[in-house]
């Protein structure tokens, strides 16, 4: 006989998947906004934010209700705790997408930045990280989650490169200081989205294996292969 808790867990997972879809759209449109100099994309990001915020509250409420009224087993408890944390990370990723849209408002007031190659590459990796993090959650895929942890360093390196190049261009007076700052802020927002995707990956690993890989070297000690 199916437990009523199982039905509740399934509904919570479905809600989180729907929210994740909103988040993927927000990140995509925030990237297209500055890449294509599109005010229409900025408006789309702001519209999606309202959906994400409502989903954030609904999912938390559903999880807390299950925790209060059911008797979850250890694996169910891990799942619910992870959903609450992932829910928060998705909402914060959406906030960063809104920040990118807001920074793009200022970016569009200036001539195009001369070299967006690194920022474009960074945004592509971040969008892939977000997609993989969501897929890892949906499929309880700890191997894919581990891949995300390994990939996040690429985002940090690209962010540092964007920072250096923008600062050098500002010092050489080859771009306006405000435009260089806008690019730096967009890169920082992208990095933070990558950080939140990494948090989601860590929570997937915790849900699947019960292993807490935060703030430790356990990522590199084969925890995913332990029985």
Q: Report the alpha-carbon distance of residue 55 to residue 20 in Å, rounded.
A: 10
Task: Give the predicted TM-score (pTM) of the model.
Answer: 0.90
Q: What is the DSSP letter of 224?
A: G
DSSP letters spanning 191-207: HHHHHHHHHHHHHHHHH
Segments of the chain scoring below 70 in pLDDT: 1-2, 215-227
Q: Helices 74-107 and 4-35 meet at what angle, rounded to 10?
A: 20
DSSP letters spanning 80-111: HHHHHHHHHHHHHHHHHHHHHHHHHHHHTTSP
Predicted confidence at residue 174, as pLDDT, reads: 79
Classified as helix, coil or strand, 225 is helix
Residues whose CB falls within 8 Å of the CB of residue 124, separated by 6 or more in sequence, listed in order: none
Contact 130, 197 (CB under 8 A): yes
Q: Helices 4-35 and 117-139 meet at what angle, rounded to 10?
A: 170
Q: Report the alpha-carbon distance of residue 136 to residue 127 in Å, rounded.
A: 14
* φ and ψ at residue 206, rounded to 5 degrees: -65, -45
Contact 186, 100 (CB under 8 A): yes
Q: Report the alpha-carbon distance of residue 162 to residue 205 in Å, rounded.
A: 31
pLDDT tens across 35-85, in order? 999 999 999 999 999 999 999 999 999 999 999 998 888 889 999 999 999
Contact 63, 76 (CB under 8 A): no
Q: Report the alpha-carbon distance of residue 114 to residue 94 in Å, rounded.
A: 27
Q: Please, what CATH class does the domain formed by 4-225 belong to?
A: mainly alpha
Predicted confidence at residue 216, as pLDDT, reads: 61
Percent of the chain with pLDDT over 70: 93
Chain-centroid distance of CA 141 in Å reads 17
Predicted confidence at residue 1, as pLDDT, reads: 39
- Sequence spans of domains, the chain: 4-225
Predicted confidence at residue 214, as pLDDT, reads: 75
């Amino acid at each position: 006989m199916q437990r009523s808790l199982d039905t509740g867990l399934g509904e919570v997972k479905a809600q989180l998947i729907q929210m994740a879809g909103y988040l993927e759209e927000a990140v995509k449109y925030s990237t297209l906004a500055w890449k294509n100099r599109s005010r229409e994309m900025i408006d789309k990001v702001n519209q999606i934010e309202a959906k994400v915020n409502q989903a954030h509250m609904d999912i938390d409420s559903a999880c807390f209700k299950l925790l209060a009224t059911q008797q979850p087993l250890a694996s169910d408890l891990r799942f619910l705790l992870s959903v609450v944390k992932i829910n928060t990370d998705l909402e914060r990723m959406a906030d960063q997408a809104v920040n990118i849209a807001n920074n793009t408002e200022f970016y569009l007031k200036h001539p195009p930045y001369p070299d967006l190659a690194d920022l474009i590459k960074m945004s592509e990796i971040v969008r892939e990280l977000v997609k993989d993090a969501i897929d890892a959650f949906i499929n309880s895929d700890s191997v894919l989650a581990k891949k995300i942890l390994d990939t996040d360093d690429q985002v940090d390196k690209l962010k540092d490169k964007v920072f250096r190049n923008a600062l050098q261009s500002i010092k050489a007076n080859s771009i306006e200081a405000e435009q260089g700052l806008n690019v730096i802020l967009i890169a920082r927002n992208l990095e933070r989205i990558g950080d939140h995707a990494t948090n989601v990956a860590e929570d997937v690993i915790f849900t699947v294996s019960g292993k807490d890989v935060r703030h430790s070297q356990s990522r590199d000690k084969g925890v995913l292969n332990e029985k």
